[in-house]
Structure 1
């Protein structure tokens, strides 16, 4: 593990950019960027286009380590290059931004009010490749839709079981049990979730470090204990479907919680924009998300 990257993620001022839309969400990400499905044919063409989009974001002068601590990549992006360098190497060597990798394979069907992770086949091989590609950490997303104690316990237990496997491979896992922002009992789900997270964290070995990626809580500063927990390098927040302005407003009310936005980061960016307009829009978004993260 890179000590400089560890220190940057643990104490740096800024946020984590989520550039990890995968197979299921890539068409939506491209459509938001102004590239309709009718303009490409087949998976390879789709991934080539989304890599162009991510490359444009990463190479933009607005994508600056003054504001951005890390970036989460999709496996396909990890294996591609930017200007002759593997994406993770470009991020760290040219930008000073710490690379992460999304490792999950999507969500299982809903049961007990939650969606667990689908089995992650070939995880050990993927983690080995990630280490070889100089990735710092990983992330995996589960989804909580109802305040069901058994379901939430299963989500957290599964996340930590896989998280320990990831930590043993020399990477820092981002544990992501998202609570659906549209859930009728979101605040109750968050109470159950926090208790389960604290329980699992307390059982970790002293040297194990994790990050948490959580929905912005209903009650301001509700996750303060998690932010202070010794095993936790950082707690980051997903935008969860909020528009950027609302996500920033909610985030700013939570001390120590920083952004890890995806849709809210790329909001307003379009394939048809001139580089000047694109960079200006991205710069404004980056600065606004940064300001909300450091409050």
Structure 2
């Protein structure tokens, strides 16, 4: 584990940029950026286009360690280069931004009110590659739709089983049991979820460190106790479908909770913008998310 990166994640001010749209979500990300699906004929062309988009974001002067602590990458992005450096090396060596890797392979079918992660084939090989590519930590997402105790327990059990495997490789796992912001019993789900997370934290070895990526809670300050746990480096929030303005407004009400936004970060950016316009819009987004994260 890179101790300088660990110190930055523990004590630095800023937020985490989520640039990790994978195969299923990449077409939506490109469409938001102004590139329709008929602009590419296959996955290779699609991933090349999205890498150009991510390169434009990462190399922008607005994408600065003054505001951004870390960035989450998709495996395909990790394997590609920016200005002759692998993406993770460019982030850290040129920008001072800590690289993370999304490792999950999407969601399983809904059962007991939740969607577990699909199996992750050859996970050990992927984690070894992440270490070789100088990745600091990983991220894995599952989804909670209902306040179902059995389902939420299964989600957290799965997250922590994989987190232990990841930590054994010297990587820091980000667990992401997202609670659907449209759920009618979101607050009840969050209560069950937090209790399960605390239960698992109490079983971890003393030197095991994790991060939590969670939906912005219904009750302000609800995750403040998680932030104090010695195993937890940071608790970060996903935007979950909120607009940038709404996500920032809700985030700012939760002291210590920092952003890890994807769609909200890229909001307003398009492929046809001039570099000046692109950088100005990105700078405004970065600044607003940063301010909401340090409140």
TM normalised by structure 2 equals 1.00
RMSD between aligned alpha carbons? Answer: 0.3
Distance (whole Å) between structure 2 residues aligned to residue 10 and residue 241 of structure 1: 27
- Equivalence for 1:94: 94
Provide structure 1 residue ranges, at least 5 long, that are not aligned to the other structure.
none
Q: How does 1:104-143 map to 2 (within 5 A)?
A: 104-143=104-143
| Residue 24 (structure 1) aligned with residue 28 (structure 2) | no
Distance (whole Å) between structure 1 residues aligned to residue 146 and residue 251 of structure 2: 22
| Residue 153 (structure 1) aligned with residue 161 (structure 2) | no
Distance (whole Å) between structure 2 residues aligned to residue 111 and residue 259 of structure 1: 29
Q: How much has 1:23 moved relative to structure 2?
A: 0.2
Q: Deviations over 1:239-276 (max 9, x none)?
A: 00000000000000000000000000000000000000
Q: How does 1:72-221 map to 2 (within 5 A)?
A: 72-221=72-221
Distance (whole Å) between structure 2 residues aligned to residue 40 and residue 146 of structure 1: 37
Distance (whole Å) between structure 2 residues aligned to residue 202 and residue 4 of structure 1: 27
Distance (whole Å) between structure 1 residues aligned to residue 125 and residue 171 of structure 2: 13
Q: How much has 1:142 moved relative to structure 2?
A: 0.3
Distance (whole Å) between structure 2 residues aligned to residue 237 and residue 201 of structure 1: 19
The alignment partner of 1:24 has SS state of coil
The alignment partner of 2:261 has SS state of coil
Distance (whole Å) between structure 2 residues aligned to residue 38 and residue 8 of structure 1: 42
- Equivalence for 2:277: 277
Structure 1 segments, 4+ long, off by >2 Å, are none
Provide structure 2 residue ranges, at least 5 long, that are not aligned to the other structure.
none
The alignment partner of 2:157 has SS state of helix
Distance (whole Å) between structure 2 residues aligned to residue 39 and residue 107 of structure 1: 27
TM normalised by structure 1 equals 1.00
Distance (whole Å) between structure 2 residues aligned to residue 179 and residue 237 of structure 1: 11
